[in-house]
């Protein structure tokens, strides 16, 4: 991933928080010679603390998904986690003009597949995934709410797997190249947008260290 130093995220805790908050990731496989690369959009959970070489991600996909046939132990893959993104207009700057750009954040994790076999372990992967995404709800819904026969029918149709991490790259491009007054103006413009993703981007920029000026406004 192209990640200039001013945008790079090196804090493991911040990377872990980003993966937790934006855990619906894109899985891209290393296509065999001459084959078209495949990508799937899948929920992923981190294991073993913050993402780092040797740590793991946990996920699953439908066996009917053509990409499932390519996933074998040791196959190299890329997992891409993205947050809200938005166009930045030069008209918003207050200190001078510049070219249009786009603000966004992303984490790229490469690693190798380790397949998870057996209905009991697949069930555990499903239960952990549901528990993770339901955790913020006032009354989390547990997998066990489903009829047992339905769960048993579901398990043979999924392939659970881990990604054993090789590399982690992360960036947050949040107008760091602009003066503080311009960053404030960009956040204000995004916050006024009718586009939900723009408003979410403004909130993430405001919470990111060093983007919003310190002290009273």
The reply to whether 186 falls in a domain is: no
In a domain, 87, yes or no: yes
Mean pLDDT rounded to a whole number for the chain: 94
What pLDDT is recorded for position 30? Answer: 81
Rounded Cα distance between 204 and 16, Å, is: 15
- Out of 30-44, 52-66, 72-86, 178-192, least confident range: 30-44
CA 36 centroid distance within chain = 23
36 versus 109: which is more confidently predicted?
Answer: 109
Work out the pLDDT band at 101, boundaries 50, 70, 90: very high
What's the CA gap between 41 and 2, in Å, rounded? 22
pLDDT above 90 covers a percentage of the chain that reads 87
Q: Given a cut of 60, is residue 86 above it in pLDDT?
A: yes
Check: CB of residue 176 under 8 Å from CB of residue 148. no
Query: What 3-state DSSP class applies to 131?
Result: helix
**Arithmetic mean of pLDDT, 11-37:** 92
This prediction has a pTM of 0.93
Give mean pLDDT, residues 122-136. Answer: 92
- Answer yes or no: is 187 within a domain: no
Please report whether residue 134 resides in a domain.
yes
CA of residue 213 relative to chain centroid, distance: 27
Which residues are CB-neighbours of 122 under 8 A, at least 6 positions away?
Answer: 60, 116, 155, 158, 159, 160
- Residue 199 has what pLDDT? 98
- Please, what is the end-to-end C-alpha distance for the chain in angstroms? 35
Q: Using an 8 Å Cβ cutoff, are 103 and 183 in contact?
A: no
Domain extent, residue 116, equals 5-177
**Cβ(164)–Cβ(54) below 8 Å:** yes
**206 falls within a domain:** no
- Rounded Cα–Cα distance for residues 123 and 198 (Å): 37
* pLDDT confidence tier of residue 216, bands split at 50, 70 and 90: very low
Number of domains the chain is built from? 1
The pLDDT tens digits for 44-66 are 999 999 999 999 999 999 999 99
Task: Tell me the CA distances in angstroms from 191 to 29, 113, 187, 215, one per residue in order.
Answer: 36, 40, 6, 20
Q: Is residue 184 included in any domain, yes or no? A: no
Question: Are the CB atoms for 16 and 56 separated by under 8 Å?
Answer: no
Residue 215: its pLDDT value, please? 43
Distance, in Å, from the CA atom of 53 to the CA atom of 25, rounded to the nearest integer, reads 18
Residue 217 has pLDDT above 60, yes or no: no
The answer to the question of residue 209 being in a domain is no
What is the pLDDT averaged over residues 10-15?
A: 96
Domain with 56 in it: what CATH number?
Answer: 2.30.110.10
Flag whether 21 is in a domain: yes
């Amino acid at each position: 991933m192209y990640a200039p130093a001013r945008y790079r995220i090196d804090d493991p805790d911040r990377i872990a928080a980003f993966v937790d908050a934006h855990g619906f990731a894109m899985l891209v496989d290393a296509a065999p010679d001459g084959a078209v690369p495949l990508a799937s959009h899948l929920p992923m959970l981190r294991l073993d603390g913050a993402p780092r070489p040797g740590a793991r991600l946990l996920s699953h996909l439908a066996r009917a998904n053509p990409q499932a046939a390519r996933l074998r132990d040791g196959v190299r893959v890329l997992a891409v986690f993205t947050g809200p993104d938005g166009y930045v207009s030069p008209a918003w700057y207050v200190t001078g003009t510049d070219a249009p750009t786009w603000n966004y954040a992303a984490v790229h994790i490469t690693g190798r597949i380790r397949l998870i076999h057996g209905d009991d372990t697949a069930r555990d992967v499903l239960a952990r995934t549901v528990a993770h995404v339901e955790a913020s709800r006032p009354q989390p819904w547990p997998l066990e709410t489903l009829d047992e026969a339905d769960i048993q029918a579901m398990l043979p149709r999924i392939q659970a797997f881990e990604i054993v991490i090789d590399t982690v790259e992360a960036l947050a491009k949040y107008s760091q190249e602009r003066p503080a007054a311009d960053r404030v103006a960009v956040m204000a413009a995004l916050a006024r947008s009718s586009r939900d993703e723009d408003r979410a981007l403004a909130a993430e920029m405001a919470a990111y260290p060093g983007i919003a000026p310190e002290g009273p406004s």
